[in-house]
Amino acid sequence: MYLTLLKIKNYKLIESAEISFQRGMNVLVGKNSTGKSTVLEAINFLLSPYVSIPLADVIPYEKRNVNVSPSVEGYFELSKTEINEFLNTGIEPDVLNDYERILADFRLKITKTIVKRGKSSYTVNTRPDIDFKNHVSPSDSNKANRILNAMMPKINMNNVIVMPDSDSLANEQILPEQVLIQSLPMNQMLIYQHLRGLFYTAKQRENGEYTKIQKALQQASDIKDIDIDFDPVSAQLNIFFQPSNSKYKVSLNAEGRGIREYFYLFLALFYFQDTVILKDEALVHMHKSLLTSFLAEISEQPYQMIVTSHIKELINSLDFGNIIICRKDTNKAEITNLLQHNDIREVLDELGYADKISDNILEMEKNVFG
């Protein structure tokens, strides 16, 4: 599922926000304490079956004695994979065209609301629904409900991947795959072990997937060879890189944080193409040349990633429809799409990015606003 629209109300310092997201890379930019990380947290709250923060902490401080119900509402389009999976579930041939038409007009709507029960007790209400872009007939509504029911198992599962900042293998216990998947929503650090497991499984199956990932990783960096092995002594899956200018392989854990971030983000985008991927302060460890190669390599992949970042090269590489501006007025965060602002140069100058505005962004600004 790809997030297309997010509505937030009374969530921490965000009183009200309506944010559009695109497929591909979306970047939240702004000064410190302007709500960037809060937006990522709100998306995780919406899409994860587990609440990792005290619900009382979500309510803005000045409203804790007021009867407010913080809510996060998301609108989602299905990926091509999800659409094909549904159409292959025994849809009658005579109505197949109807379902294809509805799916093109169909959005899932998921709402999570925090409701106060008594003095200090809170519960979370989740409501999945259907949202059409256009008017539909009653028969179309019945078919849409069938799509919604088919999607319910996925809605109730973890539909977000959070990439934590640390990726150390130290003292990491190897878990069976099914235990790992069930534990992942409660322990986000396990994503790195999960990605290594997927990469190792691809190698064992010898079905071409492992070679495909190797080649893509090599094209995006100065690496001659990549390999993964299981070490029975340490009970760990170890990844090795061989730089182009070296005869020897080195452990990924011995590489810099930029290489590690690049490797794990690439695997996440490869394996979770229809899942929303979140990363706070993303791509900050990558050298400019590696970042450029990484963005070029993933440009044709189907994925959605929502990050906070202050990397000017990243911001400069995106269409302004993929940039979200975070500001703060007194104690309230103001979250808006860059596209909503009439003067892109002024907004980016305020944040310190005007000197890196590319000609294509200024040209798009001219075409849109005149």
Tens-level pLDDT at each residue, the chain (370 residues):
899 999 999 999 999 999 999 999 999 998 888 999 999 999 999 998 887 778 778 887 777 777 788 999 999 999 888 888 888 888 888 888 888 888 888 889 999 998 887 777 788 899 999 887 776 677 788 888 888 898 888 888 888 999 988 766 554 667 788 888 888 888 888 899 899 999 999 999 888 889 888 888 877 667 778 889 888 877 788 888 887 778 888 888 877 888 888 889 999 999 998 899 999 998 888 888 888 888 888 888 889 999 998 887 787 777 777 899 998 887 889 999 988 887 777 787 777 776 655 555 555 555 544 4
CB 72 within 8 A of CB 42: yes
* Token pair of 133 as six digits: 């872009």
CB 364 within 8 A of CB 320: yes
CB 216 within 8 A of CB 297: yes
Antiparallel, parallel or unpaired: β 106-117 and 2-11? unpaired
The rounded Cα 352 to chain-centroid distance in angstroms is 25
Tell which residue, 209, 210, 240, 212, has the closest CA to residue 224. Answer: 240
Compute the distance between CA of residue 167 and CA of residue 260 in angstroms, rounded to an integer. 8
Model pTM?
0.89
User: What is 1-159+275-370's CATH number?
Assistant: 3.40.50.300
Compute the distance between CA of residue 337 and CA of residue 85 in angstroms, rounded to an integer. 33
Does an H or E element contain 292, and which? helix 288-298
61 has which bridge partners? Answer: none
Coil vs helix vs strand at 4: strand
Compute the distance between CA of residue 234 and CA of residue 211 in angstroms, rounded to an integer. 26
Ranges of each domain in the chain: 1-159+275-370, 164-274
